[in-house]
Structures are given as structure tokens and as C-alpha cells.
Amino acid sequence: MTEYGKTLRATATPIPGLTVWQLPVHGDNRGWFKENWQRAKMVAAGMPDFGPVQNNVSFNDAVGTTRGIHAEPWDKFVSVATGRIFGAWVDLRAGPTFGTVFTIELDPSRAIFVPRGVGNSFQTLEPNTAYTYLVNDHYTPGIDYPSVNPADDALAIDWPIPLERAELSAKDRAQPNLGQVSPVAPRKTLVLGAGGQLGRALLRAYADTPHVEFADRSDLDVTSGDVESARPWRDYDMIINAAAYTAVDAAESAEGRVAAWAANVTAVTALARVATAHRITVVHVSSDYVYDGTSSRPYLESDAFAPLGVYGQTKAAGDRIVETVARHYIVRTSWVIGDGRNFVRTMLSLAARGVAPSVVDDQFGRLTFTTELARAIRHLTETRAPYGTYNVTGSGPVTSWADIARRTFAVAGYDPDRVRAVSTAEYFASATAPVAARPANSALDLGKIEATGFVPGDADEMLVTFVQAATRATHGAPG
């Protein structure tokens, strides 16, 4: 019998993500009323904001009508409008809970949220039962998804009405047993910019994760205008955008300005559209160049943008676009060091060749190694940290570029006094090509990401490790 007056509440089950929902039903002499789906209240109570797009109703005349067990490629919220059902759910997702079964009776006062990949089935316990479900993808004929035989002894489902006496379709009676079912793979993650410094670090960070795909611009050009058809996006759960135009000075030229806006704004807009349409989480990498560097303290994620040049303007615009995506992480960083050409490798090369470099001493910040960025991205997404913007750099003292150059020389066994400290104005005084203005203060406050349980590595310790490894790789001898 339907119970009245209970409060909205969720209860976990042995199947991860499968939650039973107690629904408030209000009754009087006329009948009853309930809010079957109330987004604001349910999300506040812990329901995933799964974005339903289609509402289906299954009306069943007879007691014992049995449907399922099917694991369609979408999430669903199942409830009963009238009557009563015995529901059975089987986890068909790859992983340690594959094959786990959960059963419960549903009436109008009890509903259940079923995540993608969990097989869903029911048996009616009263005549004229109306079973309803919200789903977050449109049904398309020909979609392939696993089903399992409801009579499989391995499942040991105690159907109230034995299946030999139940109303069951011939198709459901012919479904394979659990041992013949291929588990549902997780929705995929797509890493863009796979050939860049961060892309290569992400490739190593996700080496143990087969559902992560990597693409460079030759695989997927997000400025091409056909991004919507570039992938079967219903199969993807996350896009990590490690692609960007980063030639800060070249962006000040006519050609560079066009290229920077295309990669950092137009492409990001296309990704945002895809992510919004398909409920995909976007991870986007931002830059200290969105600030003018005049702050007397490390920058907070909430500080106002004030970019000094074209590159900074495009990164700021890209950030604002990504913020429109419901599920987003913006990882703001500075002074990135990874595989390929970078400041530390340049200093090592100059040191080995006997050059005494001039390095600016009026720009301040912290180095960020791509391994740290990749680790932070995986931490934020796997711990399901609140969506939003997070600063990510190495930890430790704020230093100048000249300080880092001297430290690099010293660790590699060269005389650090060979590094000559100069002002930014002096360094670029003889430049003949356009030069972008640099923020004087690039230090970023790390409190927000630390509050999620992430402990940033010490920038100096990582620099020492990087220099020692690079020195061994090149067999350079101190000069």
C-alpha cells in the first residue's frame, strides 16, 4: 500500500550509483499527489543532475507481467504512477560489482535511480500498473546494449510470480545468461592535445586506464565546424582539453592573433556545445596570463581577469566559455615544464655550451611540472571534487625566473653566477618582433585545491629531480 507523508530521502544499495528514493505522497479523500521528479529538491538531496530528456510510461494489464533485464546506454529514474511492482536490477558494468543483484518493491511512494550499465527489470504485483521512467538520452532504433536472462540461476532472483507462469516476451526468455554477457565498459575520456607537453604527461598518468583515448589535431580538429559528428559523443563521459595555442609573443602578430583565437576560443566554444548537449565533463587548462600581475599576493581563482596581451585575452575568453558548461573543471596554472622545449631545458643547453644567459628577475611565480598537472586533473575528476576553477602549481617559495635559472645551473653542476639578472624591459629592449607583456606576479594561491585533499609537490624538489634526470639523459659534463 502507498505510504503517505514521508520525506524525500535516498538510500544506497549494494550496486554503486543505484539509489532508492522515498517520495513524499500527499493523499486525501480525492486520491493522492506527488512530485515525481523535482530537480532542485532531488539534486540537493544527492540525486545526480542527470538531465532527463524523455519520459516513458509502461502500462501493464495483468499481474505477473515481467520486463527486462536490459542495460540501455543511459541513466533512468524509475517510479510507479499506480499499482505496485517487484523490481530487480543487475550490475552489468565492468568491475568488481559485475553481476550484483538488488531487488525491492516499488509503489508510488518509492522510486529508484538506475545508472547507465545497470540492467533494469520489473514484475507487476497488481493489475493496471503504470510504470514510468525518465531517461537522459533519446531512444534510437538499433542501439546495442546487453541484456541478461531473468531466469538465470546465477542471478538467483526470487521472482514473486514464477517466470513459467509470468507474462514474459519470447525475446526476454531467450536472453543469454550472465556468463555470456560482455560487461558494459565505462564511458570514455577523450584527451585533446595528446602530442603536447601536458598531453604526453596525461598519456603516462592514464596508462593504466583503457577507456581513455588520446587525440591530436590531426585526429580531431575542433575548429573544423563538424565537431558534433566527429565522435559518438553518447559514449564519452569526459573531455580533457590539453590543446592550446601557447606562443605568447607570436600571438601579438596578425597571423598569430587569428591562430590564438581559433585554438583558444573557437575550439573551446565547439567543445562547450558538445559537452552541454551530451552531459560531458570538460577539463580545461587555464593560465596565469588571464591576470595583469599587479596583485601584491598570490591570485585566487575568484580574482578579476585583466589580461595584458592577446594570448591572455584568448585564455580568459576560453575560461568564461567553459564556465557555461554545467560539469567543468578549469585548472589554472603557470610556468609549465614538461617534455619538449621549455625554460629549464633551455638553461641546461646554455649551461652546457658555456653561455652566460641574461634572465629576468622581475617576474615572480612557481614552476608547474606537467606531471603535477596530470596528477591534479586525475585527482579532481576521480574524487568528484566540486566543479569549478582550481589553481594548480608547484608549492613552496615564490621565485623569479633568474632564481630558477641559477638553481638549474647549480643542480646540473655549473656555476650559478654565470646567470645575469636583468629586468624585463632590459631583456626585450632589442626585440624586433612583437613582444607580449608579461604579468609581473604569476603566483597562484593553492588553498582551494588543497582543500580537496590534493597536496601539491614542492616546485624546487621537482626541479631538482627534473634537472638531474635531464642531465643523466644527455650525459652532460659540468663545465
Q: Is residue 4 part of a domain?
A: no
Task: Indicate the residue among 145, 180, 215 that finishes a domain.
Answer: 180
213 in the same domain as 164: no
- CATH classification of the domain holding 431: 3.40.50.720
- CATH classification of the domain holding 159: 2.60.120.10
147 in the same domain as 201: no
Q: Is the pLDDT of residue 478 over 50?
A: no
Q: Is residue 224 part of a domain?
A: yes
142 in the same domain as 58: yes
194 in the same domain as 171: no
Task: Indicate the residue among 180, 214, 246 that finishes a domain.
Answer: 180
83 in the same domain as 31: yes
243 in the same domain as 363: yes
Tell me what the mean pLDDT of segment 220-225 comes to: 83
Kindly name the residue from 4, 26, 131, 133 that is annotated as catalytic.
Answer: 133
Kindly name the residue from 70, 211, 379, 387 that is annotated as catalytic.
Answer: 70
For residues 190 and 230, the answer to whether their CB atoms sit within 8 Å is no
C-alpha–C-alpha distance, residues 340 and 200, integer Å: 10
C-alpha–C-alpha distance, residues 461 and 448, integer Å: 22
380 in the same domain as 236: yes
Q: Is the pLDDT of residue 476 over 70?
A: no
Which tens digit of pLDDT belongs to each residue from 43-62? 999 998 888 888 888 888 89
Task: Indicate the residue among 180, 213, 244 that finishes a domain.
Answer: 180
DSSP 153: T
C-alpha–C-alpha distance, residues 336 and 316, integer Å: 18
For residues 104 and 186, the answer to whether their CB atoms sit within 8 Å is no
DSSP 83: S
User: Residue 331: what residue type?
Assistant: V
Q: CA dihedral in degrees (190, 192, 198, 203; nearest 10)?
A: 40
- Cα-Cα-Cα-Cα dihedral sign, residues 421, 424, 429, 435: positive
Q: Is 145 a catalytic residue?
A: no
Question: Which structural domain, as residue segments, surrounds residue 69?
Answer: 9-180
Q: Which residues contact 424 (CB under 8 A, 6 or more apart)?
A: 360, 362, 363, 438, 440
Name the band, by pLDDT with cuts 50, 70 and 90, for residue 30. low
Please state the domain count of the chain.
2
Which tens digit of pLDDT belongs to each residue from 181-216? 999 988 999 999 999 999 999 999 999 898 999 998
Q: What is the pTM of this model?
A: 0.86
Which tens digit of pLDDT belongs to each residue from 85-136? 999 999 999 999 999 999 999 999 999 999 999 999 999 999 999 989 999 8
Tell me what the mean pLDDT of segment 25-44 comes to: 82
111 in the same domain as 22: yes
Q: Is residue 1 part of a domain?
A: no
286 in the same domain as 431: yes
Q: Is residue 3 part of a domain?
A: no
Q: Identify the CA nearest to 149 among candidates 180, 114, 117, 112.
A: 180
Q: Is residue 16 part of a domain?
A: yes
C-alpha–C-alpha distance, residues 37 and 259, integer Å: 46
Q: Provide the percentage of residues in the chain whose pLDDT is more than 90.
A: 77
What does the pLDDT read at residue 3? 66
Name the band, by pLDDT with cuts 50, 70 and 90, for residue 477. very low
Q: Is 26 a catalytic residue?
A: no
Name the band, by pLDDT with cuts 50, 70 and 90, for residue 222. confident
For residues 348 and 444, the answer to whether their CB atoms sit within 8 Å is no
What does the pLDDT read at residue 29? 65
Q: Which residue has the cell 527486462?
A: 68
321 in the same domain as 203: yes
Tell me what the mean pLDDT of segment 408-429 comes to: 95
Q: Is residue 237 part of a domain?
A: yes
462 in the same domain as 396: yes
C-alpha–C-alpha distance, residues 249 and 435, integer Å: 5
145 in the same domain as 116: yes
For 417, the 3-state DSSP assignment is: helix
> What are the DSSP E strand ranges found in 193-344?
212-215, 236-241, 281-287, 328-333, 336-337
Least confident residue range of 41-45, 175-179, 404-408, 450-454: 41-45
What does the pLDDT read at residue 225? 77
Structure-block grid coordinates of residue 364:
615572480
